[in-house]
Structure 1
């Protein structure tokens, strides 16, 4: 064993010394050492589950092909290359953004989209003087936008959408002189809309949908933005009157829907270029202004679910002449409109929806008042790509040939992130012309294979670029790939907004077109000389260093061995058995895959049957798992002295060489998360969910008050709440738990523990995250998120949307019944409202605003006691009855029916909370 280890160390050290010599001799071609150091720190801040960053350990990023690193082509005045671009998109990376990003002072493009990054935005990003594109969208980033971002003088694209960013938009951002696109939609932003944003001289797109601006108004100054093309503030909890946008000369797209705007629609005429006007789901009154007529490019006019009255001017659609590629949709449902002025004949390609208005009592208007179809397909293929030739694999019939010609295309996934239209077909030829012009191709070389509208709305498309002959030559492939991957395609018309490359697939014929970068620019002779010169010293020095390393290794191994023996000795606790590896292997048929019941960051969980016949769950750590020795010992020490019917019981453990296993009582119904998923075989009804909530709360209350000393769990989540055969909830996984603070010498007990932030994104107490102060209210917040999961079936974070914000928006809009989990069956209205109210109290951002766990338990018990058939909920055999749907007595005079009305979860739009409740789908 030692001989093998010595050989490994010797080879490693010799290789390292040789490479060090190479770097020394190639000083004029390597990256600045501070940037290399910063990049390694950045890597250490990330967690890469798929080994996507494997090349980040070798030498110089500019000469070692570090995936995602683009450096300057030549050397700078200081003799170094510098990192220009950092592109790590869609790699499933976890972890936080390192403040060391601020040391890459020459960085121009930072692309981290589509990962699972958490934590705050480092303020140091605001001191990158050359940054042009900042794109960290579709992650789980939280915390505020640093004020330092107002220093990004060269940034034109600011894309932070689909995260969990909170707090106020810094008004100081108005200082950004080059900003063109500001995309912050689908976050947790609050506060007010800064009127200062209207001072941005170049801003074209301001997209802030799906945030919560606390009932603030839209600044009137937004109507003075001379370069603005798109203003999208959908579902932002805005109120007040609609601003006058008639002074915005280039406006293409206006969406203010799903807010609380009131008053009339401003009468002045909007830009003739406008394609989309979205004002649905507000409280607008008055008449439909005539200024919506004669808009030559209008595609969507959406003003449904308001309180508009009077007549509808048919000139909105009668004055339009549409070609076969154009469509106009007018949605005016659920208003107080009484008639149509002018002709009621609809031109071709025009659709008008008016159901829910008084005028629909007129039998002559039935064409306007039918049910709106929900079956429209989002995915389209613009033309038929009929193959005329019998082409070899990967080759297709070329669209640029009149006859039969096979060619190999480049395959490109492409997305328009915020286009200024709602219907793509009228702009298809303009898009093809502009893209092929930027790529220096002819239009017939571009074929749009398909396109699809995604949530946002964003337009995803799949493109094929065809060569003039049967395939592109290598230099042409390199040129096109560089244009796409380096963001060097000349600017397209502003109506198409910002774009992003989703993927670029090279067929086999093009695989050799992209060469592997060389490690060094040195000649072979110089390289050989340096290597030979290094070997002589390396052999001698490696021997000396190896002996020192080996000596230290032996000492360290001996110390660890003594520590592990001491740990094992301390774990000889009554009621907790120490199992051998052989015993647990026998219980699981040698850890057969058929006995696996779950898997997480720690490892796999197996169902085992011990010699005495008892069924257990065995959690086996895998090599490199996220749970280490400390968490392993913590869980054993805590569970050995915790005994409560709502806490999972520890049966024993195994801690032999290279094996760490925990043995628990077996929970036959799995995790709460599994039971809330769409794949659950037996959906939980409301009574079962309420009982699970109460059991979980009681378990945590025991930790906070009856455990000695008290314990903060620190990782409450739906996957850590297990259900036994009777659906009794039991809290599990205490590896991250911390003991509550104890009294100091003066008898004062601190209210918090200062600790490194640990937990699961989506469940993490925001105040604990910001202050590192862990309290009992941190567990309250996490449990509140679980309550919201029980009520809605949603994930805590999904596609950048946060469950707390989503429920808050629906609750404040009196639309909570639109987001209730449809698999819950019937439920009592009053109990559901109280449960929602309690859950949101638990999820308050401020610690002091949350109830204690004792108050949570009392409120849940109160809700249970007022439930119909409350005795079934509290009885141990309740699980056999909860699946039944309780139907109220048939008599309308029944007091129980009035007091405890049951509501079907299928009725997503009803007047139970307010007189008008528009139907919305859960986001």
Structure 2
């Protein structure tokens, strides 16, 4: 901090000496202030001219006009000095989840600002009232933060505003409208987007917020606490295309003039307290998605006007007191995909007719009074649900219609006429079969007009639209991939997006900043019918060492700034004084560093003693580990990953160790590093890789583990390590892994969730006993919310619990799911995701319990030894229980342990006994070329980028 103060002092002097440069130097001083309060600013922010190639900075006439730093892993708080950038027009700091604190009042001093985007950060506190001073503002996106308090009335002063997105915060109070001299949102006549959903807004929807003068196309007020009537003024805004008022407490009748909204494609009024009669929506010929479910409407014979809505794809009228018979004319609507009429009073015969829409996929009439179904021969490609109807009391011929199960959503981009590449580490094979590190995140559609979410055409259209947008802006993108679509509780369609680089295996920082800005400022326009969207990017960690800033380069940058900022002999005296000052400060800093060392009170153990059974981790000195690893020589280098390198070492007593040495840019804060060591040092089990100690000195962070010599389970299954595993060996490996997990879940206090169980993270010792390793994504249940931890989704594709993925609620059952996938991998020796096939689905489809080996002959690994597989059926049954969709249907790891122990007992094996050492019956082929457990980047498949567990309380 003292060097920064010195630079500021010198810049003031430069202001006095150099006429005409004061404004540019002011911008530099402001950016230096930002660098003081923010971590992880771009590494090329060096020199005295931010207009000379600083990443994320654009200038005009030597003044900073644009800062776009999305997906940059920024951390800290935004300095109030930001208001000094008087020429700033664009500020985009989206997708920096560790950017926190309040938005400074000085934001209102940026009088030329046209674009303010802060999506997916962690800003909190009230939105400052000064934001209403930004008279040039066109685009305001503050969604997906933690802002609280009321929506400022002053936003109504932004007369040029086009886009307003405050969704997914914790905003409270009423929707502000003008009153006398006080402005409100009703003054925003040029705004086309009001995105205010998923907050805590209350009170009535004020009638004056809508008028014929408004240009609105999207009104999203879903998932708030709004009460009162839907104002009749809504019917005056004929430009509207999407209206979401669902999941509030609105009451009264739906205004009959709502059918004036002839351009509306999505009308969602479900989950309110609306009453009276359904409004007649005849004439709304653009309407695709209509949902009025779960309201208190008067009983009404099924309206014939439903059949006149020519664009209708989705009709949901669950629990709305509809009665009578559904006319088959409804099913002839050519675009119709989904009809949900559950919990009504519908009776008579269901007759879909012979000329129903070929796009129809679901007709759900559960819990009604239907007595017969005309199409007894079936309706191809359409799921009919008639559960809890009188028809289901018949004895035969109705089984297929009397089940409530629905097909799960499944999609992933397929290879583009090529064979997927085999990639190492965290690289992924692109649709063009090229290994690369993609830019990733979650794309969410807030109101899609379609409901056939398994239709690949929609995803292909979205992928094509994304590629066209990237290409038209000359971005270095090779291809895009969409996967794992799911509909959340608020009816958003979310999916994983991967964007692959062109010409190299990773993006540079400029590439990710450009892609992030294109998605954050809505430059990309999705195809019609996909509705409004937002994007939340993951942190990108694969820029390469050339773009990472070391502490030494930071120090040298200060020298460059000083040299460029000052000139002339008049500064010599100041520099001499600065040198004396810096020397004094250095001594103070060294003392402060010693005092702030979180390990200073930990006792060390001399190197010539035996390694203790740890209650606290042993502290090694840097010189000790340097000696044990032979000066970290290349010969002792046994692996690497995003965190740094791993070296083999030998203690004085001959014990082998593995030393993980973090790179500077991968290192954590002192307290976080200490907390993680304390976590690992309290975890001791024979089926967990043991932490022996650590090093925290000379700017180093190193972890010392026991050395496990026989590689990973994955290498054994694919034949890479030369170790053969028969059926009994595989049962033992499964048992050891299960015991390790059961210990973490049930005996550690507070419990620990591993979060990345996979075959690459199960190591085999000299007796082929399993040891769970790599706690880089582990989560402690300390301060957990009931029985789960709410956290960003991390893990490895193929092993990832779908329930955790959809809810972001991590539980022990997430590990159980991953373990179930591992069990299937033990049976088949196949990767969980291979050539677009998912092992869980493959086994489920092939499973036939009436046949030998449950009908799995073709996918069982031949190396397993097919003669005697005692307990095979029970092993498969347990595997499938572990991968149940709902976590509550999965067993606990303790129960899994008992079941596998019983399997071994039935085979005449004592599960308590250790495995014998490897004998000639388990030969090791090509031992010299075998892969070491620490030698694969995949062994350290760290989504979090760290070689040790990040245990942060929720």
In the superposition, the TM-score normalised over structure 1's length comes to 0.51
Query: Which residue of the partner structure matches residue 164 of structure 2?
Result: 158
| 1:506-562 Cα distance to aligned partner (Å, 9 max, x none) | 99999999999999xxxx9997795564651323443676799899x89x99xxx9x
1:439–1:480 CA contact under 8 A, matched in 2 = no
* 1:550–1:450 CA distance, 2 compared to 1 (3 A): closer
Query: Which residue of the partner structure matches residue 255 of structure 1?
Result: 268
> Are 1:542 and 2:605 counterparts?
no
> Are 1:489 and 2:503 counterparts?
no
1:603 CA drift (Å): 7.5
| 1:777-810 Cα distance to aligned partner (Å, 9 max, x none) | xxxxxxxxx9xx66xx688x989xxxxxxxxxxx
Query: Which residue of the partner structure matches residue 901 of structure 1?
Result: none
1:70–1:86 CA contact under 8 A, matched in 2 = no
2:549 and 2:616 mapped to 1: Cα distance?
45
* 1:497–1:276 CA distance, 2 compared to 1 (3 A): closer
Partner secondary structure for residue 119 of structure 1: strand
Query: Which residue of the partner structure matches residue 328 of structure 1?
Result: 337
Which aligned pairs between 1:808-887 and structure 2 lie closer than 5 A? none
2:46–2:561 CA contact under 8 A, matched in 1 = no
> Are 1:291 and 2:302 counterparts?
no
List runs of 5+ in structure 1 lacking aligned partners: 1-7, 400-404, 562-579, 610-621, 624-668, 681-717, 722-785, 800-818, 824-904, 908-923
1:220 and 1:91 mapped to 2: Cα distance?
40
Query: Which residue of the partner structure matches residue 275 of structure 1?
Result: 288
Query: Which residue of the partner structure matches residue 197 of structure 2?
Result: 185
* 1:298–1:429 CA distance, 2 compared to 1 (3 A): farther
Match of 1:176 among 174, 188, 192: 188
1:186 CA drift (Å): 1.4
2:6 and 2:152 mapped to 1: Cα distance?
46
Query: Which residue of the partner structure matches residue 574 of structure 1?
Result: none
2:527 and 2:164 mapped to 1: Cα distance?
19
1:23 CA drift (Å): 7.1
Query: Which residue of the partner structure matches residue 415 of structure 1?
Result: 443
1:549 and 1:409 mapped to 2: Cα distance?
42
Match of 1:131 among 129, 137, 140: 137
Query: Which residue of the partner structure matches residue 730 of structure 1?
Result: none
Question: How many pairs align?
Answer: 594
Which aligned pairs between 1:375-386 and structure 2 lie closer than 5 A? 376-381=407-412, 383-386=414-417
1:72–1:83 CA contact under 8 A, matched in 2 = no
Match of 1:452 among 467, 485, 490: 485
1:166 CA drift (Å): 0.7
Query: Which residue of the partner structure matches residue 338 of structure 1?
Result: 347
Query: Which residue of the partner structure matches residue 814 of structure 1?
Result: none
2:48–2:564 CA contact under 8 A, matched in 1 = no
Which aligned pairs between 1:172-251 and structure 2 lie closer than 5 A? 172-199=184-211, 201-213=214-226, 215-244=227-256, 245-251=258-264
> Are 1:104 and 2:110 counterparts?
yes
Query: Which residue of the partner structure matches residue 355 of structure 1?
Result: 366
* 1:434–1:254 CA distance, 2 compared to 1 (3 A): same
1:312 CA drift (Å): 1.5
1:89 CA drift (Å): 2.1
1:427 and 1:670 mapped to 2: Cα distance?
41
2:35 and 2:235 mapped to 1: Cα distance?
44
1:287–1:309 CA contact under 8 A, matched in 2 = yes
1:277 CA drift (Å): 0.7
* 1:391–1:336 CA distance, 2 compared to 1 (3 A): closer
Structure 1 stretch 65-74 or stretch 279-288: which is displaced more?
65-74
Query: Which residue of the partner structure matches residue 729 of structure 1?
Result: none
1:485 and 1:60 mapped to 2: Cα distance?
31
1:62–1:81 CA contact under 8 A, matched in 2 = no
Query: Which residue of the partner structure matches residue 751 of structure 1?
Result: none
* 1:313–1:86 CA distance, 2 compared to 1 (3 A): same
1:253–1:421 CA contact under 8 A, matched in 2 = yes
Match of 1:592 among 616, 636, 657: 616
| 1:860-898 Cα distance to aligned partner (Å, 9 max, x none) | xxxxxxxxxxxxxxxxxxxxxxxxxxxxxxxxxxxxxxx
Which aligned pairs between 1:67-106 and structure 2 lie closer than 5 A? 72=60, 75=63, 81-82=87-88, 84-106=90-112
1:64–1:518 CA contact under 8 A, matched in 2 = no
Taking only aligned residues, the RMSD between alpha carbons, in angstroms, comes to 6.2
1:510 and 1:674 mapped to 2: Cα distance?
39
Match of 2:128 among 113, 117, 122: 122
* 1:589–1:309 CA distance, 2 compared to 1 (3 A): same
* 1:508–1:94 CA distance, 2 compared to 1 (3 A): closer
1:36 CA drift (Å): 7.0
Partner secondary structure for residue 185 of structure 1: coil
1:294–1:315 CA contact under 8 A, matched in 2 = no
1:143 CA drift (Å): 0.8
Structure 1 stretch 453-462 or stretch 428-437: which is displaced more?
428-437
2:751–2:781 CA contact under 8 A, matched in 1 = no
2:585 and 2:549 mapped to 1: Cα distance?
39
1:196 and 1:40 mapped to 2: Cα distance?
46
Partner secondary structure for residue 221 of structure 1: helix
1:311 CA drift (Å): 2.4
| 1:586-642 Cα distance to aligned partner (Å, 9 max, x none) | 9x99871499xxx99897597999xxxxxxxxxxxx99xxxxxxxxxxxxxxxxxxx
1:169 CA drift (Å): 0.9
Which aligned pairs between 1:466-615 and structure 2 lie closer than 5 A? 481=515, 484=518, 487=521, 489=523, 491=525, 495-500=529-534, 502-503=536-537, 530-531=566-567, 533=569, 535-542=571-578, 592-593=616-617, 604=675
2:196 and 2:216 mapped to 1: Cα distance?
14
Query: Which residue of the partner structure matches residue 497 of structure 2?
Result: 462
Partner secondary structure for residue 106 of structure 2: helix
Partner secondary structure for residue 124 of structure 2: coil
Which aligned pairs between 1:729-878 and structure 2 lie closer than 5 A? none
Partner secondary structure for residue 137 of structure 1: coil
* 1:676–1:69 CA distance, 2 compared to 1 (3 A): farther
1:338–1:358 CA contact under 8 A, matched in 2 = yes
1:161–1:186 CA contact under 8 A, matched in 2 = yes
Partner secondary structure for residue 210 of structure 2: helix
* 1:398–1:102 CA distance, 2 compared to 1 (3 A): same
2:520–2:535 CA contact under 8 A, matched in 1 = no
Query: Which residue of the partner structure matches residue 146 of structure 2?
Result: 140
1:493 CA drift (Å): 5.4
